[in-house]
Amino acid sequence: MEYLTTGRLAKEAGVNIDTVRYYEKRGLIPKPPRKDSGYRMFREDAVKRIIFIKHAQEIGFSLHEIEELLFLRVSSKTTCHEVKKRTEAKIVEVEGKILNLQRIKRALEKMADICRANKRIGDCPILDMLDAQGDNLSLPQNSKAAQSASCPSCGAPVRSENIKTLKQTARMKGA
């Protein structure tokens, strides 16, 4: 059996040396024996294990979840059903993230609709709204934009549904 140094393992697995050391420290790859010179000597199967970890990360599994998957892989009592349950839970988590990103996108689009020009940055209603916090997400009362209910730079109306959406988004982020 051929053994690999940390540098060679990192190269063959397509990661940097610090990643190999971190995975070793976290217990994701077994601690290898050392030569008299102090060099770590990893088994060849460490390459496959690191590639497994990277693939699992690419599809959204955290290192903690990957640790669990690796444990399940070597447990003689584990069935595919256990792995499937974790995969289905990850799907639910990803769907939640997608919904949240879609809400954020809609809020940003509505913010962009409020003002279509950039004449005077000091009167920007978008920046005014970002300054607001929580349920108070609206144009500050002393803002010129709030007094006129339109963008002072371009004259675009500041519609109430835009403010409502921004308030809802702020509440979701605060929760």
Architecture (CATH level 2) of domain 3-62: Orthogonal Bundle (1.10)
Residues of the chain with pLDDT under 50: 134-162, 166, 170, 175
Question: For the CA atoms of 136, 139, 142, 144, what is the dihedral angle to 10 degrees?
Answer: 180
- CA dist 170 and 46 (Å) reads 45
Res 119: pLDDT: 58
For 80-96, the pLDDT digits (tens) are 999 999 999 999 999 99
Strand partners, 42: 4
CB-based contact 162:145 (threshold 8 Å): no
Q: For 160, list phi and psi in degrees, rounded to 5.
A: -65, -35
pLDDT on residue 40:
93
Structure confidence at residue 54 (pLDDT)? 98
Q: Is the dihedral of CA 81, 26, 45, 15 positive or negative?
A: positive
Query: Is 0.75 surpassed by the pTM of this model?
Result: no
Query: Please, how many CA atoms are within 13 Å of residue 93, restricted to the half-sphere of its CB?
Result: 11
Whole-number pLDDT of residue 150:
46
How many residues does this entry show for the chain?
175
Give the rounded distance of the alpha carbon of 122 from its chain centre: 32
Residue with tokens 């509505």: 110
| Domains of the chain by residue range | 3-62, 86-174
User: Which pLDDT belongs to residue 113?
Assistant: 81
